[in-house]
Amino acid sequence: MMRMTVLASGSKGNSTVISSSRTRVLVDAGLSCRELLRRMALAGEDPSALDAILITHEHIDHVAGLAVLARKLRIPVFFTEPTHRAWVRMLTPRTTMSYAKWLDQLQREKEARAAAVALETANQLCAVAEEPALRSDDPNPLLELPIEAEPCDAESVETLPAAAKADPTFLPAVEYFRAGTSFSIGDLDIMPFTIPHDAADPCGFVFEAEGVRMALATDLGYMPPNVKQAIARSDVLLLESNHDLEMLRDGPYPWSVKQRVLSRVGHLSNSATAEYLSRDYDGGAAYIVLGHLSESNNVPELARLAAEQAIGDRMTLLGNKILLASQTVPLEPICL
Ligand SMILES: [Zn+2]
Ligand SMILES: [Zn+2]
């Protein structure tokens, strides 16, 4: 038996539980930890039974509650290495400065260097008369070294968990996978595949256990051949149907954001999804779940209508049932 429970889907947060009879994983953690736990309770999913969290990409609507949830449940997080790095960069505070401020800082550094050289020269002149003493403080601020953050004795090793927890990127365990290379967690076979999206190394997943296949493909600008191939023969297909083209064009987003959504690394429109369903889809899924619907540029009924028209008479009681994943409430668990 396999089960898919979509806890949330959309630009304000994404998270889905995938279970086999022995293994349970969470794909993305794009809501707060508290909200994820609340939705799992609502959907009848036990958080303490989760074995791992898998991340598709580092956009905030996929990772918002990640660190807190992983620490609370003490479970490993699976990323690709570039996604993990991008996530760490995202959470690491950086000082940004204007060009004028940078020039100003450069000038101050130059002056400090000149002052240090002047002081050094003066010291050398004095040293003719006396033995030079070792200076414990260096007058050149450029030579200041950062304070050692790593533990260097037994006592600080003992305090490491507390120190690590203060780090926003601390996770109980991190495992890397690569798109295109399958791996397993318990009895779940997982095939990650690359998707075209503006993130470091975004991917979708196909999960398989006991002869059932469930695929997740959201956040993709278009349907490349590798995605079509990866999600073929799925029994449950969570597929993006992000926006209605006319609503997006006439909608409230600034021009640059519209261009991003429409681009080859943006999101799938209702019509792009419909085109896939009518031309390339093999028709073999029991359920097609439409997800990542835009709240500003789509309405569920338009997404449903486009998909239903594309599926046409292949929609039956047993096959190609179309469901709509919601941003605000968990979807009824899909069991096969
Ligand atoms: Zn997203
Ligand atoms: Zn994204």
Does residue 125 surpass a pLDDT of 70?
no
pLDDT at site 336: 96
Report CA-CA distances (Å) from 211 to 4, 20, 172: 15, 11, 32
What's the rounded mean pLDDT across residues 286-296? 97
Say which ligand is closest to the CA of 83. 2
Sign of CA dihedral 229, 230, 236, 240: negative
pLDDT at site 113: 83
CA of 157 to the centre of ligand 1 (A): 38
Does residue 28 surpass a pLDDT of 70?
yes
Say which ligand is closest to the CA of 28. 1
Confidence of residue 165 (pLDDT cuts 50, 70, 90): low
pLDDT at site 72: 97
What's the rounded mean pLDDT across residues 85-102? 85
Does residue 229 surpass a pLDDT of 50?
yes
Does residue 149 surpass a pLDDT of 50?
no
What's the rounded mean pLDDT across residues 59-83? 98
pTM of this structure: 0.80
Q: pLDDT of 318-335, one tens digit each?
A: 799 999 999 999 999 999
CA of 135 to the centre of ligand 1 (A): 56
Say which ligand is closest to the CA of 58. 2
Does residue 180 surpass a pLDDT of 70?
yes
What's the rounded mean pLDDT across residues 34-58? 98
CA of 115 to the centre of ligand 1 (A): 52
CA of 171 to the centre of ligand 2 (A): 22
CA of 138 to the centre of ligand 1 (A): 50
pLDDT at site 114: 86
Does residue 158 surpass a pLDDT of 60?
no
Count of helices and strands (H, E) across the chain: 12, 14
What's the rounded mean pLDDT across residues 293-305? 97
The tokens describing 243, both together, are 């926006």
What's the rounded mean pLDDT across residues 263-290? 97
CA of 197 to the centre of ligand 2 (A): 7
Say which ligand is closest to the CA of 57. 2
pLDDT at site 313: 84
Asked if 287 and 236 touch (Cβ cutoff 8 Å), the reply is yes
pLDDT at site 20: 97
CA of 69 to the centre of ligand 1 (A): 19
* From 71-85, 148-162, 164-178, 268-282, the region with the lowest mean pLDDT: 148-162
Q: Please list all protein residues whose beta carbon sits less than 5 angstroms from ligand 1, which is an ion.
A: 61, 219
Nearest to 189 by CA among 225, 213, 160, 156: 213
What's the rounded mean pLDDT across residues 159-168? 69
pLDDT at site 161: 66
CA of 1 to the centre of ligand 2 (A): 30
Does residue 159 surpass a pLDDT of 50?
no
Say which ligand is closest to the CA of 240. 1
Say which ligand is closest to the CA of 86. 2
Q: What is the H or E stretch that residue 36 is in?
A: helix 33-43
pLDDT at site 115: 85
Say which ligand is closest to the CA of 10. 1
Average pLDDT along the chain: 88
CA of 198 to the centre of ligand 1 (A): 10
CA 325 to chain centre: 19
